[in-house]
Amino acid sequence: MSKSNLLIPGTLDAITDVRGIRVGHWTSRRQATGCTVILCESCTAGAVAIQGGAPATHETDALAGENLVRRCHAVVLTGGSAFGLASTTGVAHWLAAQGVGIETKGGPVPIVVGAGLFDLNTGPHAFPGAEEGERAAKRATSGKIPQGSVGAGTGATVAKLLGMEQRLKGGVGTASLVGPQGIVVGALAVTNAVGNIMNPEDGSMVAGPRGGEPGEMRTPEQAVVEQNESAASLRENTTLVCIATNAAIEHVGVQRLAVNGHDGLARSIVPSHTLGDGDTVFALTTGALSMESDDLTTLGLMAMLTVERAVVRSVNLAEGLAGVPSAKEWGSD
């Protein structure tokens, strides 16, 4: 098989390898929270799939197949749970000031969708608001994206099956693949999961509940057996994902990409989609590349692979914060 027939990482190995996608962060390490804005003014179709049992979302109905718009101008991923959804307002006002939005007699109305994760148990009771959302939008770039403990991943944590005292840091990660015909699929993940983080490429465990000695981590099976009576940590989670592609596909195909993104979560987070995770995947297309064939199977595979790589990277690149060590720090000698 020639190299041209393989799926290979994009130039940046990031969601911004999809032309027309820009990403910006607002980060507060002191407050252990933040938000991440994905600008997609050229989006021709958008969709969302929610598989977690505790989502906090904004304007997701606008992307439903039976409704009028079915696209968006920005996706906001935020800390602060439902409180942090206020950051979407700042993004909407900023976009409107740029003349971006659905044209109406009253001026442009930007479609800004969003979802929040629960990080209120990492730092003080703090969350991004409209001003912070606007700052993240202004910082959005089509270039290299900061990853790890930044943006919406600042206060994110993982591996909480045995409670907060044994968790490790989560964060933001991104990845991309280039496939046949010049198709590009990119993903950005903010990992704040109750489950362990696994690397599907080699089956290794990236992060699990901390054991008694540095470097020791419990497998999901061990953690379930050892689980105590307290279930609070199992209700305060959520992993958020945004997938983007340049492939010109209809809304139904974009909706399928959002579903395929959850396959990547299931392969890299064990367990995933729990009642206390609000796992949410957005999918977008810029429609820039006309495909010779509408091969949604190839796109779906690329979406799954980019999501799982983004999840693994989000934890591998995270740094310890607010007394929660990173997997890298805990596993080092």
**CA 331, CA 325: separation in Å to the nearest integer?**
10
Q: Which domains does the chain have, with CATH numbers?
A: 3-331 (3.60.70.12)
Of all residues in the chain, the percent with pLDDT exceeding 90 is 83
Task: Output the CA torsion 72→74→78→84 (10° steps).
Answer: -80
Q: Which two tokens stand for residue 175?
A: 């990845």
Task: Tell me what the mean pLDDT of segment 110-114 comes to.
Answer: 98
Task: Tell me what the mean pLDDT of segment 16-43 comes to.
Answer: 97
Report pLDDT for 5.
Answer: 57
Average pLDDT of the chain to the nearest whole number: 93
Residue 228 DSSP class: -
- Residue 117 near residue 78, CB atoms below 8 Å: yes
Residue 213 DSSP class: S
Task: Tell me what the mean pLDDT of segment 15-43 comes to.
Answer: 97
Report pLDDT for 239.
Answer: 97
Report pLDDT for 19.
Answer: 97
Chain centroid to CA 169:
15
Answer yes or no: is pLDDT of 2 > 90.
no
Q: Which two tokens stand for residue 125?
A: 């009771």
The tens digit of pLDDT for each residue in 122-146 reads: 988 899 999 999 999 999 999 999 9
Answer yes or no: is pLDDT of 101 > 70.
yes
Identity of the amino acid at 202: D
pTM of the model as a whole: 0.95
Per-residue pLDDT band at 333 (split at 50, 70, 90): very low
The tens digit of pLDDT for each residue in 145-202 reads: 999 999 999 999 999 999 899 999 999 999 999 998 899 999 999 999 999 999 999 9
Per-residue pLDDT band at 225 (split at 50, 70, 90): confident
Chain centroid to CA 70:
20
Task: Tell whether omega for the bond before 55 is within 30 degrees of 0, i.e. cis.
Answer: no
Q: How far is CA 49 from CA 113, 140, 158, 164, 318, in A?
A: 13, 24, 21, 28, 26
**CA 101, CA 93: separation in Å to the nearest integer?**
10
- Residue 238 near residue 277, CB atoms below 8 Å: yes
The tens digit of pLDDT for each residue in 310-330 reads: 999 999 999 999 999 999 999
The tens digit of pLDDT for each residue in 276-313 reads: 899 999 999 999 999 877 789 999 999 999 999 999 99
Q: Per mean pLDDT, which range of 21-25, 51-55, 80-84 is the poorest?
A: 51-55
Q: Which two tokens stand for residue 281?
A: 């995947």
**CA 308, CA 7: separation in Å to the nearest integer?**
15
Report pLDDT for 229.
Answer: 52
**CA 149, CA 170: separation in Å to the nearest integer?**
7
Residue for token pair 């002191």: 30
